[in-house]
Chain A
């Protein structure tokens, strides 16, 4: 496997650990799915105005997060309803636009399930820079985010600006989802965030341990899954998810076994 693919995947795995924890703690899984679905529209917009896929996807992710916050503040429809409307609107627009622009079924398929061929050196630079920045920002906001996740009331009273922190978290997710979509695919991106963090939850006793454990497990799954996908000519997303689920089951069984003993 070439160096730029290896670095790209490890950078993604590192940021997936802590970010995945917030997806689990704050129940943002459906939000992540929605972001991922909207990414296809970002790709289409990128094609139309001639910027890179990543910029198109990040722009759409930020618009997506802002629309959600704005609609949610109206307090008429539940968050999951709003997500359903936004996500599927963006996905459908994306598919229609991609087809009109002449993208073939194969290209759309690659976006849905991920492909190693998509990881060019140009893209690697984008993904590594994006993951690095996200990880840095996440570490800077960490104490406030943890307090806010424990108790929003308390965080608010102690001066944490909840709306800003929540928006930052949404944008971070947008960046990471946009960065990893071509590798893991729109359909499976959320599981890359959720499964390693959930596996780490089985043994972690602090939020930090869960985040670091999540990063380590995600890295391991990438390192095992990518060569498998390459050797057997499989879509990367499903292979990585299979490996992640296997690691989750293993840790779960180990946990149950030690508890009995």
Chain B
């Protein structure tokens, strides 16, 4: 029963997607499949082409080369990085969730319960905290009953606690709704500590798979080596050394000032 999945079994099939802008290659022969109930985290340094790839996955742009295929019946829910509300625009959460789409009141109520924003429905959008706003954006993405959720660094502007809560909510929705998730993340620490599939992009797909195999990939190390090293520096065994060093430094600084 382990027959290869054919192209039509995937929600999204990307084959040799190439994007060239002003003579510069942004994406080079990227191939990627998103199957039912996949959870893929896309990582890559700034300028790696992550957002461009997302825009093509959403079919907002037509490819320079290669192709992007959507399975018929595919519905994508999209959560952008952030939304900045101009204070001159009066907009409550409820109005925002119903503008340009047709959700009923009861659908809205059950969605709001799922994403824990019921108490916010009558608040102005401009008054929300970063975490609340991201949950509202997530709610809007879920309103179209998507089978694929695409999130572009959804927790970038949240504090550590808020990030954790948001990712937990995504996990719960992924399990309860049985949908597929493709998420861009900058947060290596969280990504590498989970067991989800990771795709590392740097103009082309450098490596993909489980975090521990990706972490050993030479290309991953050459791109993220420094960042990973910084992450490792947080762990306790190196802390004592750092502390000593800091102490020394302060001591010197103090004497310098006194003399």
Contacts and interface: CB of A to CB of B under 8 A. Distances in A.
B100 A207 contact: no
Given A150-B85, A156-B60, A209 B90 contact: yes
A207 B89 contact: yes
B121 interface: no
Chain A interface size range = 20 to 34
B152 to A, nearest CB: 8
B166 interface: no
Contacts of A157: 58, 60, 76, 78, 80
| Most chain B beta-carbon contacts within 10 A, residue among A150, A207, A209 | A150
A24 B86 CA distance: 10
Interface string A142-163: 0110110111011111101000
A201 B100 contact: no
Contacts, number: 58
Contact of B96 (A150, A153, A160, A209): A150
B83 A150 contact: yes
Nearest to A155: B100
Given A153-B80, A154-B78, A154-B140, A160 B100 contact: yes
A126 interface: no
A137 to B, nearest CB: 16
Contacts of B78: 154, 157-158
Interface in B21-60: 58, 60
A258 interface: no
Interface string B89-101: 1111001100111
A173 to B, nearest CB: 17
B211 interface: no
B124 interface: yes
Contacts of B129: none
B80 A151 contact: yes
A149 B87 CA distance: 12
Interface in B172-198: none
B83 A153 contact: yes
B183 to A, nearest CB: 15
Contacts of B95: 206-207
Given A154-B83, A157-B60, A157-B78, A147 B99 contact: yes
Nearest to A145: B100
B140 A150 contact: no
**Most chain A CB within a 10 A radius of its CB, from B76, B85, B96, B100:** B100
A37 B100 CA distance: 35
B88 A25 contact: yes
Given A147-B100, A207-B95, A201 B80 contact: no
Contacts of B58: 157
A196 to B, nearest CB: 14
Given A153-B80, A157-B60, A144 B100 contact: yes
Nearest to A213: B90
A210 interface: yes
20 contacts: A25-B88, A144-B100, A146-B99, A149-B86, A150-B83, A150-B85, A150-B89, A150-B91, A151-B83, A153-B83, A154-B78, A154-B83, A154-B137, A157-B60, A201-B88, A205-B124, A206-B92, A207-B89, A207-B90, A210-B90
